[in-house]
Chains A and B, each alone.
Chain A
Amino acid sequence: MSIRILVVDDEPDFIETMVKRFTFRKMPVTAAPSGIAALKLLEAEPFDVVIMDVRMPGKDGIETLKEIKKRYPLTEVIMLTGHASVESGMRGMSLGAYDYVLKPVDFDELLEKVRKAHERKLLNEGRNAPR
């Protein structure tokens, strides 16, 4: 079962490498350079897990998170933060994010969190599925 991942960050080098590394692990991944682009992509196709930076120009991570949770409550979001970390991470979690990861990211840790987020999504889907 493959996990559909969307990586959202304003650093092109970062998302490029992320895409390469997920692809290397045979995981389908899409990249978006901004919150707005991410929302557009979500409109077009569903994603299981969104990995998103908190601080981005234009629509920032927290606002995009609110939007995603409003429109696609089942999609799990993992926040990436290089900023005053714990606080903004916690704030993201209170808004419905699955977890947060501090930048620079330990990829294995991130991978683990992505898997867990997907598991939770599956659980939630099962609970909400019509009988």
Chain B
Amino acid sequence: MMQQDDYQRLRLKIIATTLAFSFVPLLALGVTIYLKTESVYVGKVYGNLRTLVENKKTTIDLFLNERISQLTTLAFTETFVQLSDEKYLEKVFSILQIHSKSFIDLQVIDQEGNTVSYCGPYRLKDVNYSQEPWFNMAMARGLYVSDVFLGFRKYPHFIIAVTRREGDQSWILRAAIDSDIFDTLVRSVHLGKSGDAFLLTSENVLQTKPRFDDTILEKIEFPRFSKFSGTRVEEFAVKGKTSLYAMAWLDNKDWLLVIKDDPREELLPLYQARWLLVFILFGGTLIIIGGAVFIANSMVRQLVRSEREKASLDASLTQSSKMAALGKLAAGVAHEVNNPLAIIMEKAGWMRDLLSEEDIKASPNFQEYADAVQKIEFHVRRAKDVTHRLLGFARRMDPLRDDINVNILLDQTKSFLENEASFRNIEILADYDRGLPSITSDASQLQQVFLNIIDNAIDAIDKDGVITVTTRHDKDAGAVVIAITDTGKGMPKEVADKIFDPFFTTKKVGEGTGLGLTISYSIIEKLGGKIVLQSAEGKGTTFTITLPAH
């Protein structure tokens, strides 16, 4: 028989196994699908950003290229003399502005850094640039594109300077270009709520005005990237905020084009999918746990039931085989004892016969002899009673088949014992099922059983108590159930286990043979029924007899 702990352990084992075998594949499936989707989705997001930054880069490069070409063309088609004429310069400037409004002004500078002619909204006629670093660079390289700066104009702009050598002298054609154009170009990117795009110099100085926080020309906190070709998309944290950054260096200027995007925004559908997945996993897990618990519980319940049935079957098998063996033993012993008893009986009888003769009657001890013989005969008869009851327990007589109303039979049995019971102030209560079907059984043998049990109940109570006789119809089992409950002293388990054994008695020597319940047991067994008892020490005992209804 398994213990409660074993069942609990088995239950947990079943639950754990079921969970493992259903949850692990579910989890694996969920995680795999998610990871796959994620990599595809993230790849797509990255790809989009890459394309975006490439397009922007091309646009900005193209813009710069065009400006540089225009200026170069101008510088190399016109002569220094021609452009020194401010009227002419103005004319050329207006032509330039037809193509591009972003030219702020146009300026011709000689090799000493003096402004020769100027055309534009500011008064810069007498400015000398010879000390400016850009002037020297432009003179040396022939072409110079500056970073964005405020300059004399106090307005963010940058300059393109083209140097031309004409004969033995060089001169510079310089144009200021409104850098607002970059803001427009860069920011025309369609971005999410927290997306941004800006240009950075190699020193991380902002060249355009970003949408948030920083202002133009400020040096911002940003990792340094050495020049790389093509585009890069990376996710990293700036000022504690993780974003997706797509970057590309411009071809014509050492400016880094950066497009920033909030990964949370870009990956929102993915996060939604993740939550959905978590939700489904959670729900699935709950269902699986519920199922596992349900399965484990019903399995264990089934197991407990069958174990219990098996145990009670075992118990009744043990009991009946014990009874059969004891029956054989008892019959053998009884028979062997009967033969010597028969001889003793006859010898005693013979002595009694002889005592009737005249001459012995005269003997002074005649009365003693007569008493002794009588006592011998009395006790041989007593022994005979025992052996005959033993044989009665062992014999296999076909029971009679009467139609019996158990309630009436119990009432009759009760009436035999009511005198004795009332003498001891014991009440015998009847709680009958009036709809009890009649059964086919042996009335006199059943009555013997009832008498025995009620008699025992009276003895168990001794004085003052109640005996309840209950009958019920167990329709499911097709059986009639008779329960006889007393309020007596009850018995410990050791006694209860042996109560049906022959010669087992708790009564005083001479008061009981210890065969009553043994015989009752074998009778009920023969009638196809069952007899069990439940006893609680100090509270009382219940004998339950189950007989087949038909």
Contact = CB atoms under 8 A, between A and B. Distances in A.
Contacts of B391: 83-85
B402 to A, nearest CB: 19
Given A87-B395, A103-B342, A17 B349 contact: yes
B150 interface: no
A14 B339 CA distance: 8
Given A83-B335, A102-B388, A17 B350 contact: yes
B338 interface: yes
B395 A103 contact: no
Contacts of A82: 334-335, 338-339, 342
Contact of A13 (B335, B343, B394): B343
B339 A103 contact: yes
A13 to B, nearest CB: 5
Contacts of B338: 82, 102-104
Interface string B223-238: 0000000000000000
Interface residues of B, number: 24
A94 to B, nearest CB: 14
A24 B355 CA distance: 12
Contacts of B342: 11, 14, 80, 82, 103-105
B335 A21 contact: no
B339 A21 contact: no
Contact of A18 (B341, B346, B388): B346
A103 to B, nearest CB: 4
Given A103-B342, A104-B341, A17 B347 contact: yes
Interface of B, helix, strand, loop or mixed by DSSP: helix
A103 B346 CA distance: 10
A91 interface: no
A82 B395 CA distance: 12
A77 to B, nearest CB: 18
B534 to A, nearest CB: 34
Interface in B379-409: 380, 384, 388, 391, 394-397
B349 A107 contact: yes
A14 B396 CA distance: 28
A71 B385 CA distance: 37
Contacts of B268: none
Interface in A49-88: 55, 80, 82-87
Contacts of A18: 346
Interface in B337-377: 338-339, 341-347, 349-350, 353-354
Given A103-B338, A104-B384, A87 B346 contact: no
Contacts of A20: 350, 353
Contacts of B354: 24
A8 B475 CA distance: 57
Contact of B349 (A11, A21, A87, A102): A21
Contacts of B395: 84-87
A13 B345 CA distance: 11
A55 B396 contact: no
The 7 closest A-B pairs by CB, nearest first: A82-B338, A17-B346, A104-B345, A104-B342, A103-B342, A104-B341, A103-B338
Interface of B: 331, 334-335, 338-339, 341-347, 349-350, 353-354, 380, 384, 388, 391, 394-397
